[in-house]
Amino acid sequence: MNKRKWFKLAALLMAAAVIGTGCQGQTEKEQGQKKGGSTVQIDFWAAPNPTQQAFWKKMADRYMEEHQNVKIKVSPMPESPSSEAGIQSAIAAGNAPVISENISRGFAAQLADSRAIVPLDQFEGFDDLIAKRQMKSTISTWKFADGHQYVLPIYSNAMLFGWRIDILKELGYNAPPKTYSEVIEVGKKLKEKYPNKFLWARADLAKPTWWARWFDFFMIYNAASNGTHFIDGNKLSADRDAGVKTLQFFADLSKNKLVLTKETKDPFESGTSVMSDLGPWTFPYWAEKFPEMKFNEKYVLSMPPVPDGMDPSQSKTFADTKGLVIYASATKEQQQAAFDFVKWVYSDPQNDLEWLKETNLPPARDDLSTNEAFVSYFEQNPQLKLYAENIPNAIPPMDNAKMVEIQELIGKEALNPVVKGEKTPEKAWEDMEKAINGVLK
Amino acid sequence: MGWLLASPYLVYSAVFFLIPLFWALYLAFTNWNLISPEYETVGMQNFIDAFFSPSVRAAFWVTYKFMLMFVPIVIAGSLFLALILHHLPRWKGLFAVGYFLPYLASGVASSIVVKGVISYNSPLNQFLRDAFGWDIDWLGSPILAPLVIALMMAWKFVGYYALLFLSGLESIPKEVYEAAEIDGAVGWKRVWHVTIPMLYPSFYTVTILAVGLMFGIFTEPYVLTGGGPEYATHTWQLEIYNQAFEKLNAGYGTAVAIINSIVTFASIFVFRKVLEKWGGKHGWE
């Protein structure tokens, strides 16, 4: 055989390998439908978290026992370098699952913008699902600008502030402050007694990290604005007055040296700071590492403080919440089967209870604090009760495909310079507005 | 027959290098967002945007800043370590492996450890505050943050590069030292005029590896600083990751990746020429 023939053979091998690789995803997908005649195969990607995977595996097994024609394969979503990047790569490679959890509203907006996911409200039985799971109020804030619901929230962490009540008591307070001036007053007293302690230790206040804004800026802004949407569709709809007040609050904290923006290890637990943004995921960690952190002894929880003159009982907060989406690349049959599975899971509050016990993440239900099914759980875990009560008061992330850029600009143009004392709140808000409008153009 | 034997490698290279390379070259001229089925070609727009982007400019300069800090530290450190290992009477292999271990450590794990060591309430900072009144913002200062990352990377790579220097040291013939001794070169003179020039191949390899490494930094700034403060640790890889996977600008991210590879190639080329000139002076071709 001469050189040319060998070259042709090598080229043929290469082409075969390329075609083989390219066709793999499609073949598997087709197999998903054809296998076993009328059996529908669903790939379910669970969050890369053992407790959530265990829950969904259990649910899938039970569902398959009752529904022989459905095969659900639960596997952890790839998270290299992040779960979002894993999903994006899978979509780009044509290997997206039929359904996945662990999707934030912001990421869903990016997926919906590219028509990679389907609107859930168009499935038969959607309204029935919402009614059965008692989540009409919670899901109302999840509606996208185009009027559709693309994500079914699974859990909702109404972000709260933890306060070191033991230290507050030393300062003469029996309850956490509720308004801006009360917070500053507590901070000043703290500094008088303990010059090396801080009100809030949060290095992210000085960084433009986009997702960090959920746990500082949006907690305070949502409380000040009564939950006014920051972005509506493709327009900046933020409440300017509330926004400037929010930035003024951060400026006052910084001016009085009440915030620590250096990296600090476990500042709240060690007592370096007396206030901290807390989600329910903290408590299992404390149970293991800081058993001395007892609710009502060492710490209490509260909704974010509000500007002076506002009613603190009406405070709103940020909802750290994720949910389920169904991918557009799946066949209609697979999509409907996935939706039916979800409907089955959420038709029984006992499944939500099981989720709560397994993951410690509050199910996104309006009736979480009142439903009989959860009463005994909250009696045993009183620290989670306030989270449950405030699910309807928690605002999910914005539904804009440019969320990352927008939130980066909130940090870069407004929050970071205000905390560093480089801009006045008014100037910072103005610069931020200008920059965000540039991105939304 | 040669083609047949080489075909597995050719197929592998085509699937994992050539096709992605041509695909990336194409993507760099589109506005694809990685997930949308629809996208358009945008000509040179991505490259023009990258040229005027403050974050790309920052990545460009930050890489050289890292290089200025990392390359001298890692070369001095690994040479020092290699000289110690070379003169050890026994257990040379054991110590060499010991110093090599940080290279195998996960970047995420070591970054988290470093974060703990330099945190505000760490014993180190507590001591600095109590003893000297120094309240240092290690990761909040645009000068200290890159230095912390450069030192951390030097710790990681010093053992690996020391092995390269060690093999260079071991290969210097004894006769060269004996001849130098007869000519009166002893002590520091011997190191400076004999050992270091004789180590030229190791210097060449280590410098090129260290320079190339600076264009691929990701994990450490991603975990420790997120690229801040004020872009002081914003590397090429962070920019590419942020654009492609966070902001879903895959086309633009690919354009930045191509610019990164051109800058990397050009920088390594310049370093090679400089090193070859230095080597030529000492008789290395």
How confident is the model over B107-116, as a mean pLDDT? 92
pLDDT tens profile A389-421: 998 899 989 988 889 999 999 999 999 999 999
From the candidates B36, B113, B243, which should be mutated to test the interface with A, based on the most A CB atoms within 10 A? B36
Question: Is pLDDT at A15 greater than 70 in this prediction?
Answer: no
Flag if B248 and A88 touch (Cβ within 8 Å).
Answer: yes
Please write the tens of the pLDDT for every residue from A354-388: 999 988 899 999 888 889 999 999 999 999 999 98
Q: What is the pLDDT of residues B90-99, one digit of tens each?
A: 888 888 888 8
Please tell me the distance from the alpha carbon of residue B275 to that of residue A103, in angstroms, as a whole number: 51
> Which chain B residues touch A115 with a CB distance below 8 Å?
36-37
Residue B279 contacts A, CB cutoff 8 Å: no
End-to-end CA distance of chain B: 36
What's the pLDDT band for A9 if we cut at 50, 70, 90?
A: low
Q: How far is A220 from chain B, CA to nearest CA, in Å?
A: 23
| B280: Cβ contacts below 8 Å, ≥ 6 apart | none
Query: How far out from the chain centre does Cα B24 lie?
Result: 23
As a 3-state breakdown, chain B gives helix, strand, coil percent values, each rounded to 5, of 75, 0, 25
**C-alpha span between A189 and A250 (Å, rounded):** 18
**Residue A38: band (very low, low, confident or very high) from pLDDT cuts 50, 70, 90:** confident
CB distance A21–B15 less than 8 Å? Answer: yes
Q: Convert the pLDDT of each residue in B134-189 to its tens digit.
A: 999 999 899 999 999 999 999 999 999 999 999 999 999 989 889 988 888 888 88
pLDDT of A11 reads 53
A227, pLDDT greater than 70: yes
Q: Which pLDDT value is given to residue A128?
A: 93
Q: How far apart are CA B149 and CA B155, in angstroms?
A: 10
Comparing A44 with A281, the larger pLDDT belongs to A44
Task: For residue A387, count other CB atoms closer than 10 A to its CB.
Answer: 28
Q: Give the DSSP letter of residue B249.
A: -
Mean pLDDT for all residues in chain A: 89
Q: For A115, which residue in chain B has the nearest alpha carbon?
A: B36
Q: Please, what is the angle between helix B200-214 and helix B144-170, to 10°? A: 150
CA distance A83 to A69: 30
CB A386 within 8 A of CB A160: yes
The residues near B119 (Cβ < 8 Å, ≥ 6 apart) are: A262, A263, A264, A265, B125
B5 CB near a chain A CB, below 8 Å? no
A306-350: pLDDT as tens digits: 999 999 999 999 999 899 999 999 999 999 999 999 999 999 999
Task: Say if A31-157+320-395 and A158-318+399-440 have the same CATH topology.
Answer: yes
Residue contact B228–A92, C-beta within 8 A: no
Nearest to B35 among A91, A209, A262 (CB): A91
- What are the chain A neighbours of B116 within 8 Å (beta carbons)? 265
Highest CATH level, class, for A158-318+399-440: alpha beta
Q: Which CATH architecture has domain A31-157+320-395?
A: 3-Layer(aba) Sandwich (3.40)
Instruction: Tell me what pLDDT residue A426 has.
Output: 97
All domains of chain B, ordered by start, with CATH? 46-281 (1.10.3720.10)
pLDDT at position A441 is 82
Rounded-to-integer distance, Cα A271 and Cα A288, Å: 18
> What are the tens digits of pLDDT across the range B11-44?
999 999 999 999 999 999 999 988 888 889 999 9
Percent of chain B topping pLDDT 70: 100
Domain boundaries, chain A: 31-157+320-395, 158-318+399-440
Give the tokens for residue A34. Answer: 């054809």
Which of B1, B118, B121 is nearest residue A270 as measured by Cβ atoms? B121
Q: Which residues of A touch B (CB under 8 A)?
A: 1, 3, 6-7, 9-10, 13-14, 17-18, 21, 81-82, 84-85, 88-89, 91-92, 110-111, 113-116, 201, 203, 206-210, 260-265, 267, 270, 272, 401-402, 404-405
* Backbone angles phi and psi of A131, in degrees to 5: -70, -45
Q: Give the separation between CA A263 and CA A162, rounded to whole angstroms.
A: 19
Euclidean distance between CA atoms B248 and A109, whole angstroms: 12
Q: What percent of chain A has pLDDT above 90?
A: 70
Crossing angle for the helix pair B2-13 and A3-34, to the nearest 10 degrees: 40
- Other CB atoms within a 10 A radius of the CB of residue A429 amount to 23
